[in-house]
Structure 1
């Protein structure tokens, strides 16, 4: 069976995505434990459905379940590499060397939300589906607000 190029492109994008998530986690722990825990939780909540979707993309591209699982595990290791890079890069001058990591990661999330998701939400014609999506968005914001208040207190 010939594997489609879309599977390999997805793996490459997933590798880069996981690397930047790892950098965000590593950099956020360098900033403070509270920010590190919040960043880790936010990324975990984001990654679970994302990885399931990536697994489905690999299956559609012709990967077997075993091959797709191994490929997903391989790309997940890039998050450890990213976190390690963020921590090792911090050998001196925390502000100068790592202050860009958190804004860079936040910008990536904002880009995805505004360029990929928002246009689809605006085009939604079914009011019920639109309300479910908006409710999910508000629920995610509420979860992060609750976690922030718990960890600050």
Structure 2
């Protein structure tokens, strides 16, 4: 595993956590129109990363057994439990928004630990898998951080404070990645367990959280185009890497 690429991926993802500030410059109407298509793009990149890179690496490098399938399902169930536990999407609720802003920050911290685990575990499987996971995490964070940023500002945070909170809690990604790297040296074959969990988490995010948001939208053609663009980006990763290395 190339530790430099892993570190660079985590830093890039942390910096992009402040993208919400850019979205706040848009009118509420434009943001409302743009977000669903960002979600479609996110779903495409996540599904593309899972089925083009992560499952491929899992099947070829580790092997896919019935037990592996159970671990994937465990990853999906764990994601559901985590989402409920930290009220990840409760920013859609209208009550107690002042108090909830801090719950939202705490939930994001927990989720960032998971993001670090996802990225580091994928890099253990190989550079293309790691880059695919990084892009998938970034694609998911952009619309999410934009929404979270709006909630924090609406609940009384200044814009600067909201950006600093979004970027600051990204340090928890490094904690998650450090946990994986520590386990990888202490426990042989840990990625046999971690990579299926990563796949289960991504499938849950894209299938249960993202797809339902646009599958019944009237502009399904543009949604499919954005979804396909996300898949195409993930498919092109090995070729883009070859161009960079030339």
Q: Specify the TM-score bucket, using the shorter chain as the normaliser.
A: 0.7 to 0.9
What is the Cα deviation at residue 24 of structure 1? 1.3
Q: Verify: 1:106 aligned to 2:106, yes or no.
A: no
Counterpart for residue 29 of structure 1 = 123
Counterpart for residue 119 of structure 1 = 212
The whole-number CA distance in structure 1 between the counterparts of 2:202 and 2:119 is: 14
Counterpart for residue 100 of structure 2 = 6
The whole-number CA distance in structure 1 between the counterparts of 2:212 and 2:131 is: 31
Partner of residue 164 from structure 2, selected from 51, 70, 77 = 70
Q: Verify: 1:138 aligned to 2:232, yes or no.
A: no
Q: Verify: 1:54 aligned to 2:148, yes or no.
A: yes
* Structure 1 residues 134 and 10, CA gap change in structure 2 (3 angstroms): farther
Paired residues, number: 148
What is the Cα deviation at residue 137 of structure 1? 1.0
Task: Report if the CA contact (8 A) 2:101-2:151 is conserved.
Answer: yes
RMSD: 2.3
Unmatched runs of 5 consecutive residues or more in structure 1: none
The whole-number CA distance in structure 1 between the counterparts of 2:112 and 2:153 is: 20
What is the Cα deviation at residue 65 of structure 1? 1.1
**TM-score normalized by structure 1?**
0.82
What is the Cα deviation at residue 26 of structure 1? 1.3
Unmatched runs of 5 consecutive residues or more in structure 2: 1-95
The whole-number CA distance in structure 2 between the counterparts of 1:99 and 1:84 is: 18
**TM-score normalized by structure 2?**
0.54
- Which SS does the other structure have where 1:123 is aligned? coil
What is the Cα deviation at residue 151 of structure 1? 4.2
What is the Cα deviation at residue 13 of structure 1? 2.2
* Structure 1 residues 120 and 33, CA gap change in structure 2 (3 angstroms): closer
Counterpart for residue 186 of structure 2 = 92
* Structure 1 residues 38 and 119, CA gap change in structure 2 (3 angstroms): closer
* Structure 1 residues 37 and 77, CA gap change in structure 2 (3 angstroms): same
Deviations 1:9-34 (A, max 9, x none): 22122112211111111112222223
- The higher-RCO structure (CA 8 Å, 6+ apart) is 2
What is the Cα deviation at residue 74 of structure 1? 2.4
